[in-house]
Amino acid sequence: MIEAVRSEELFERARQLMPGGVNSPVRAFGSVGGTPRMMVSGKGAYLTDADGREYVDLVCSWGPALLGHAHPGVLEAVHSAVDRGLSFGASTPAESELAALVVGRVSAVERLRMVSTGTEATMTAVRLARGYTGRNLIVKFAGCYHGHLDGLLAAAGSGLATLALPGSAGVTEATAAETLVLPYNDISAVEEVFAARGSQIAAVITEAAPANMGVVTPADGFNAALSRITREHGALLILDEVLTGFRTGYAGYWGLTGGAEGATDPFVPDLLTFGKVIGGGMPVAALGGRADVMDYLAPVGPVYQAGTLSGNPIAMAAGVATLTAATQDVYTAIDSRSRELQGALSAALSDAGVDHSIQTAGNLFSVAFGTSANGVRNYADAQAQEAFRYAPFFHSMLDDGVYLPPSVFEAWFLSAAHDDAAMDKIFAALPAAARAAAAAKPTD
């Protein structure tokens, strides 16, 4: 590993001041080891760390940097908004402007409520579903991540549908018991749990396409079947697009699949949650959906939700500028770059004799080692992969100036700023990284 002296110094200071030295766990490099790089600037497809090293960025702030870092149009909009004041604690025109862009892109959204984080969006969606239906139970899928809401940190248990044990210290068993955890991509399990407990279930929440156990492609018709089953039993379907929304396509993953013109399994979710790209790098998230459900939110309905910084004018400006600039041409270019990189990655691993599969959802993808036979269909498959190969692969790429997600269970992201020069640098780094993965042993 190449030394990162200044990053190590800064990280050591951070460890004295913050738990683990980070404000979000995956940044600590816990699953790959080594020193987390302290990033000090970003421009286009590149990040620069505190030691002055430049990296082609394949994290893209975990999605928001769709247009690339420091996009001139986004910066101009933010600077203009800053000049008018940072926060008013009052409504502003920019809130409706961003909401109109979302409603115009995603036809399933009739009303939208702005919040500040993806966790806040899913938390509110779950509360709203319970308030609207008068029921308590929530169904989620093992391996799907919906933020750090207590009830949704529940992990999968054995059997068809378990009353989940808490997935984090501090989550009470009573809270976890209101979440039913099922294996992903298993419609028969969903049918059975609704047959047994359908009158108690308020909602099913699922990632539109899971990307937090690595990327997992929903089976054909899976999301549409969830819509059908929930509708039949008077429950709601919450489609979590915090990560995929406006990242996998102009109208998110739902727009690519169930909401696409001519979709083979069309469906309309009751609620959707958004984050990341919607704020263009600023802390913005939202929930939206059917007008009759959304109107259960205060001040017109009985379900309370509030936030001092919800709809912050600086954040709204960044979101409006990002979605305005994110034309269909942007998605076409990113889709093309993604296919190029998937092909180059698979070829390098194959040449090095590394068994693998490339998991995809639109332009999002991830690599799973030792899974060529069946790919990754659910959390059990993701956990069973040869994850030990990822750390040496990651560090080889890092040493060659390519910044990957510091976990095998995360998606890879590209931006509109990834030009030929950036792609060539990634391609050049892949063969050595593939050889490092091939040489890895389970005890490494």
Q: How far apart are CA 246 and CA 102, in angstroms?
A: 9
Out of 49, 240, 381, 400, the active site residue is 240
Cis, peptide link before residue 406, omega less than 30° from 0: no
Counts for the chain of helices (H) and strands (E), in that order:
14, 14
Token pair for 156: 């999968």
Which regions of 130-259 does DSSP assign to beta strands (E)?
Answer: 137-141, 162-163, 179-182, 201-207, 236-241
Between CA 222 and CA 188 the distance in angstroms is 10
H helix runs in 40-151, sequence order: 72-83, 93-105, 118-133
CA-to-CA separations, 404 to 295, 367, 440, in angstroms, rounded: 41, 11, 18
Distance CA 243, CA 256 (A): 14
Q: CA-CA distance, 416 to 133, in Å (whole number)?
A: 42
What's 353's DSSP letter?
A: T
Residue of 132, 145, 253, 403 with catalytic role: 145
240: annotated active-site residue: yes
Say which of 51, 276, 400, 403 is annotated catalytic: 276
CB neighbour list of residue 354: distance below 8 Å, 6 or more residues apart: 369, 389, 434, 437, 438
Catalytic residue numbers read: 145, 240, 276
